[in-house]
Structure 1
Amino acid sequence: MSGTIALASGVACALSAAAVVPLRRLAIRWDLTDDPGGHKAHARPTPYIGGIAIVAGTAVPALAVLGLADPQITAILLAAAAVAVLGLIDDIAPLTAVTRLAVEATVAVGVVLSGVQATVTGTWLDGVLTVAWIVVMTNSFNLLDNMDGALGTVTAVTAALLAVTALVRGHPELALLLCALTCACLGFLPYNWEPARVFMGDSGSLFIGFTLACSAVALTVGRPPDATVAGLFLPTFLATVDTCVVVASRVLAGHSPLRGGTDHVSHRLRRTGLGARAVAAALGAIAALSGVLCLATALGRVSPFVATATACAIAAVLIFLLRGVGAPALSPAPVQKIRERRP
């Protein structure tokens, strides 16, 4: 299986890298670009449908190798593809938050019905909690796409470590999917690294968030509650911290959490004097730390409770420190879209 995973990963990287160039030209021709201005750092209109390359790079080799034999992997891939289409539509013609959340919840229900369900309470509430968690995490990762190279780096690190965790837990099919996602992001990153020549847009960021969230859930199926909590929280640590930082700072300042702004973790790190590339690397390092903790629990080296408590302590410190870094710039009115345009 290791040779098959390596081959699929290579194809994923090559396919993603090869697809970016024609997608970029198509976006420019159709005027699907993020224009500079306001708080945005890029100096020229930048195409933002590059995420389709990540979707293709992940899904094509995974389906070619696995087919539709595994119902859970099939459900995750089909639902993630539907979310990617939703994101593409939103990139072209912005949708309301209600529409986006409704579609995301619907496809998440389909994944849960396939057997991908976390065990927390041992009751029917677990299905509801799993759907809610998948939707929240999908959009939390979506919001991490706010700086050149940031989400691509975080995803590559997170998916790679989650793939190793999947192998440890005896899920080679899921490991193959996660390795394909890792390498698809690596193929895309050279075009998205500062200064970015293409953005992934909602099609890519929603696909990434949904796939990672569902994969984390799949690895907790049948696990005790403490292992389930650790398995859900650790792979999504950075997205959770970022969401908490934004919500906490805006609520305490009397602002709506739905407003667009430059008050995410990446923006706050940038205001400490780090460049965009250094910020992406720092975010990748944080993702690596939480991913290693998750792997350590799978290997039995650290108890789920200790790992979760350690991550929570680190999260509390980060939230406290970053909440006061710089004065966040917010848009004058709440936005309908959940995704916020990069600065």
Structure 2
Amino acid sequence: MLYGIAAAATALLLTALLAAALRIPALRLRLVERRREVPLSGGVAVVAVTGAVAGVEEWGGAAGSGIGGLLVAGGFVALLGLVDDVWRLRRRVLAGGTAVAAACVVPYGETGVLPGLLAVVWAVGVTLAFRGLDHADGLAGTAGVVGAFGAAACAAVDVMDGVAGLMSVLAAALTGFLLHNWHPARAGLGSCGSMSAGFVIALALVHVRAGFGLAESAGVLFALTALASADAVLVLLTRRLGGRPAARGAPDHLAHRLRRLGLTVPGITLLLGLAALSGALVGVLAHAERVGSDALWWVGGGALLVVLSLSRVPVYAARRSVSPQVGAPLRVRNG
């Protein structure tokens, strides 16, 4: 336990320092968020520190913790995201690369082939959904912290120390990053950080729920990633109904719509963070069998209510005549 606390504290401190140290190199290399010139040093810092701290336990100890494959696959997804930050890859390239990485680390022996393939599809969806959340200061990082802590708690319930340790380190690293990403952001996460965080959280949850019932596992997995999932459903639904290509960026995410309703950027992040925390808490309790599976329906119902309510907020036709205040960090990207 003391080692875990020390590892998390180290990850938080190192990420905060590294994200600050990499700001100037990121600016010089033009590794920036294109619309606001925010350096994407945070994503590189989170990936590097999480991999280093968790890797020490995995490969530096006398016995491995069983997370080596997850670390390697997460590193591949981070590299894919970094290439996207620099050259803007097509969505299908990101999805295909993520699917290959996920397929290599899904525990088919415990899940079975068909559930394992469904887990690959779900992991790809969560990874891209986390990427889509990276459009408002603090939002993707907050969702990552909540999801990682939830996954760590579930892993701790099943005494999966390796997974619990990795998730704790990731949550701490993202917390260190948020010191630079809270409004107004001085560093960004980018596809490198957001995709790798979403991927590792998704696959960690797959490992934790392997061997459980498929229907209940789907409910638990959704509850623990409710914010990213609801945002993705809202975007895909409204773009489909609006006759817009799903891959075309637009100010139609949860945070964009709440901004149009008059909420401040920090207020949006806090509100959505609390919503994510509520869903994650229900997911952890359901995994630990402290509440019945009926509670998971409340999470799904609440998410559906939010999606349907915010889908009525006009964002497409009014986007030129009604715009956020000058300097507002809600931006449009290929998400």
In the other structure, the counterpart of 2:304 is 316
**TM-score, normalization by structure 1:** 0.88
Q: Which residue of 90, 104, 107 corresponds with 1:110?
A: 104
Displacement, 1:92? 1.3
In the other structure, the counterpart of 1:341 is 333
Distance in 2 between the 1:134 and 1:251 partners? 22
Distance in 2 between the 1:96 and 1:330 partners? 27
Distance in 2 between the 1:139 and 1:78 partners? 19
After superposition, residues 121-132 of structure 1 pair within 5 angstroms as 124-132=113-121
Distance in 2 between the 1:90 and 1:270 partners? 27
Q: Which residue of 53, 68, 72 corresponds with 1:61?
A: 53
Letter in 2 for 1:16: T
Distance in 1 between the 2:280 and 2:109 partners? 21
C-alpha distance 33-124 of structure 1, shift in aligned 2 (>3 A): closer
**TM-score, normalization by structure 2:** 0.90
Counterpart check, 1:232 vs 2:225: no
Q: Which residue of 153, 162, 175 corresponds with 2:142?
A: 153
Displacement, 1:117? 7.3
Is the contact made by 1:72 and 1:111 (CA closer than 8 Å) also made in structure 2?
Answer: no
C-alpha distance 80-331 of structure 1, shift in aligned 2 (>3 A): farther
Counterpart check, 1:205 vs 2:197: no
Displacement, 1:331? 9.9
In the other structure, the counterpart of 2:90 is 96
Distance in 2 between the 1:330 and 1:88 partners? 33
Look up the SS of the partner of 1:301 in the other structure: coil
Is the contact made by 1:261 and 1:331 (CA closer than 8 Å) also made in structure 2?
Answer: no
Displacement, 1:35? 3.8
In the other structure, the counterpart of 2:233 is 244
Is the contact made by 1:167 and 1:175 (CA closer than 8 Å) also made in structure 2?
Answer: yes
Is the contact made by 1:17 and 1:188 (CA closer than 8 Å) also made in structure 2?
Answer: yes
Is the contact made by 1:263 and 1:329 (CA closer than 8 Å) also made in structure 2?
Answer: no
In the other structure, the counterpart of 2:328 is none
Displacement, 1:228? 1.5
C-alpha distance 241-67 of structure 1, shift in aligned 2 (>3 A): same
Percent pairwise identity: 33
Q: Which residue of 162, 177, 181 corresponds with 1:188?
A: 177
Is the contact made by 1:156 and 1:182 (CA closer than 8 Å) also made in structure 2?
Answer: yes
What is the RMSD computed on CA atoms of the aligned residues? 2.3
Look up the SS of the partner of 2:225 in the other structure: helix
Is the contact made by 2:259 and 2:265 (CA closer than 8 Å) also made in structure 1?
Answer: yes
What do residues 48-93 of structure 1 show as CA deviations (whole Å, max 9, x unaligned)?
2420111122111111123285474111111001100111111112
Distance in 2 between the 1:330 and 1:64 partners? 51
Distance in 1 between the 2:227 and 2:133 partners? 9
Is the contact made by 2:77 and 2:195 (CA closer than 8 Å) also made in structure 1?
Answer: yes
Is the contact made by 2:224 and 2:284 (CA closer than 8 Å) also made in structure 1?
Answer: no
Displacement, 1:174? 0.9
C-alpha distance 111-86 of structure 1, shift in aligned 2 (>3 A): same
Distance in 2 between the 1:215 and 1:28 partners? 33
Is the contact made by 1:262 and 1:329 (CA closer than 8 Å) also made in structure 2?
Answer: no
Unaligned runs of 5+ in 1: 37-41, 333-338
Decide which moves more: 291-300 or 225-234. 225-234
Letter in 1 for 2:40: Y
In the other structure, the counterpart of 1:19 is 18
Is the contact made by 1:141 and 1:209 (CA closer than 8 Å) also made in structure 2?
Answer: yes
Letter in 2 for 1:94: R
Q: Which residue of 133, 137, 141 corresponds with 1:144?
A: 133
What do residues 244-287 of structure 1 show as CA deviations (whole Å, max 9, x unaligned)?
11111111112121110110011111112111111111111011
In the other structure, the counterpart of 2:8 is 9
Number of residues paired by the alignment? 323
Displacement, 1:140? 0.7
Decide which moves more: 251-260 or 137-146. 251-260
Unaligned runs of 5+ in 2: 321-330
